[in-house]
Structure 1
Amino acid sequence: MNRDFVYIDECVSGIRWDAKYATWDNFIGCPVDGYDVNRIVGTRQLAEGLRRAQRVAGELGFGLLLWDGYRPQIAVDCFLRWASSPEDGLTKDKHYPNIEKAEIVEQGYVARRSGHSRGGTIDLTLFSLETGMLVDMGGRFDYMDVSSHHGAAGITAAESRNRDDLRLIMERSGFLPYELEWWHYTLLDEPYPDTYFDFRIA
């Protein structure tokens, strides 16, 4: 692993994670190339930002659960091959019921060169410190639909407040939101803004 990258769970006390792309529970329906273990990796600066976010979240009664951090370019290439392959329907209802697979890239849900590959982007949600349960955000991770956008109509007031809480936590901690995905944030001052890495998560 690049020396400027770390396993986030070794750096942020109390963090939870479920690296979806190392599992079968993701939008392509199988483990993704480059994810050899279920761990979240990122730059040291990303880990520091998440430490700040964890502190802010704790003040509001929340913890952080991470779904993805650093993403090898080989994984991005795997997504692109999948997006150009014939539709098999295995994950469509769960992840992209209202668009065609071929539209996923052009609509901005999968990038040909992902900020995740630079090591400064994180996909995450909140859980309640009191109950341990995930907070209801009005939609699942990697749900490719307008309902996942910030400010989306059609979700409840409580779900909207939860999304606002996550955004507040992340912006206070030095992150910028991605407007199409309520779970996706990038460091304002990421250390490798022009470098796309391709080492495996192992």
Structure 2
Amino acid sequence: MRSIKSILIALLAITSISSASAQSLPGGFVYLRDIDPTIIQDVRYATPNNFVGRPLAGYGAGECVVKREVGLRLKAVQEELTAQNLSLKMFDCYRPARASLDMVKWSQNGRETAAERRYNPKIPKSELFRLGYIASRSQHSTGAALDLTLVDLKADNSGKYDPTKTYADCTAPVEARAPEGSVDMGTGYDCTDARGHTAAPSINPEQRAWRRRLVAAMARQGFVNYSKEWWHFSLPGAGGAAYDFPIQPRRS
């Protein structure tokens, strides 16, 4: 009897420790994988494959974290797209406030590398904040803003980014720029150029149709697109205070 009691006490202790060590998220945030694991994720700021060229502060894992309401609405969008052999692909979701400050420091370091120019072919990076391409206080930090694109599930999406390869800038034809494993929206993600504006007249009809399709699918769930970035959407009323907790690996 005493031995059974000891085992039960030990099991309770283990459960207690596991619960205490489990990842908890504040303010109604959730991991998107817990809402819909079918949505593809490529959280670029957790990797060197972004305009800064290294992981940003606060990105300890490539996980999409969102407010629960945002996640549920993304799930509804995904269900609609799945019937069309399409999928959402998330590039960025919740962004720790420290990451935005990291971007500010990057913009002020006085250097312009070739890799950085791929994302900013015509605009000096010191001008990106003034022109509204990057914000020092981002809505992403509230959990209500997202960067995303569409994936055609019937297409060959096997192309991978190769850090040793020299790619054309983000406005170049899709064959020449860095692969993103998604439909051709006319520019790459995070392209600070007029061609990256959602209604840019300089893109071709097929690219324009893909953008309209994405905007329409998101709008049906209440998401609003930012006119200077075809990839950026937010859900009005779902935000609130900005947060700065780091993104940690999700524990199953």
Q: What interval of TM-score do these two structures reach, taking the shorter chain for normalisation?
A: over 0.9
Q: Which has the larger radius of gyration?
A: 2
Q: Does the 8 Å contact 1:19/1:40 carry over to 2?
A: yes
Q: Does the 8 Å contact 1:73/1:198 carry over to 2?
A: yes
1:7 aligned residue = 31
Residues 199 and 113 of structure 1, relative CA distance in 2, 3 Å threshold:
same
Letter in structure 2 aligned against 1:139: T
Q: Let me know the Cα RMSD of the aligned residues.
A: 1.3
Provide the identity percentage: 33
1:40 matched to 2:64? The reply is: yes
1:31 matched to 2:59? The reply is: no
1:123 aligned residue = 147
Q: More relative contact order in 1 or in 2 (CA 8 Å, sep 6+)? A: 1
Aligned length: 200
Query: Which of the pair is proportionally richer in strand?
Result: 1
1:201 aligned residue = 247
Q: Report matched runs for 1:117-196 at 5 Å.
A: 117-131=141-155, 133=157, 134-190=182-238, 192-193=239-240, 195-196=241-242
Letter in structure 1 aligned against 2:221: S
Please state whether the residue corresponding to 2:183 is helix, strand or coil: coil
Distance 1:90 1:199 in 2: 32
1:21 matched to 2:69? The reply is: no
What's the TM-score once normalised by structure 2's chain length?
Answer: 0.76
Task: Give 1:187 shift.
Answer: 0.7
Q: Tell me, which stretches of 5 or more residues in structure 1 are unaligned?
A: none
What's the TM-score once normalised by structure 1's chain length?
Answer: 0.95
Q: Does the 8 Å contact 1:49/1:187 carry over to 2?
A: no
